[in-house]
Amino acid sequence: MLITGPQNLTDIIYAPKPAAKAGYAIQVAEETSGGAEASDNPPDWGTVLPTANVTAGQQQSTKCQSCHSFAKGGADMTGPDNWGVIGRKPGTKPGFAYSDAMVAFGKTIAGWDYDHLYMFLKNPQEYISGTKMTFIGIKSPEDRINLIAWLRQQSDSPAPIPPPNPKKAAAEVGPSSAPGAVTGSKRASG
């Protein structure tokens, strides 16, 4: 008894604890800018999409590829295939088992648009409480803009780029420090 007692006590103290949710939390180190965090609202898409760095957006998509495919007719994985995601109604891709939260969210909007994707990709679980998507999010506004520009091209019929909104663009702090400011020479075509 003296020999097995300490072993049993060790097993109790160090027993593995089951995960609260199925899936993996994928944390990605994000670059941060010094100072207080600026307001992170969706940018003027008519201004930022034409100059977004699509190549950088494709690089951002590698963070998503462990759970999503982006090919036309691609297989659903842990998450649904995201070919043609912009414009698609959330929670409606045939054959994929969405969370109740995503289905309910899909009933509130016509389809994934630039603004909703921008906010969802920042912190999926905060934006849609109860989503099965456990990804920690992409904190950098520029990285989200570039990813959305690349996602836009993953479609048979890319969503149109809205005309620039001078009032919204003028509200941004400055060309290099605005939350929606994008650098790079690759343009979002289409």
Q: Is 55 exposed, middle or buried (0-12, 13-18, 19+ CB in 10 A)?
A: middle
Question: How far is the C-alpha of 178 from the C-alpha of 22, rounded, in Å?
Answer: 37
Q: What is the pLDDT of residues 163-183, one digit of tens each?
A: 998 887 666 644 444 444 444
User: What is the structure's pLDDT at 190?
Assistant: 46
List of E strands, 31-123? none
pTM score, whole prediction: 0.71
Q: What is the pLDDT of residues 112-129, one digit of tens each?
A: 999 999 999 999 999 999
User: What is the structure's pLDDT at 2?
Assistant: 53
Q: What is the pLDDT of residues 18-62, one digit of tens each?
A: 656 555 555 555 444 444 455 799 999 999 999 999 999 999 999
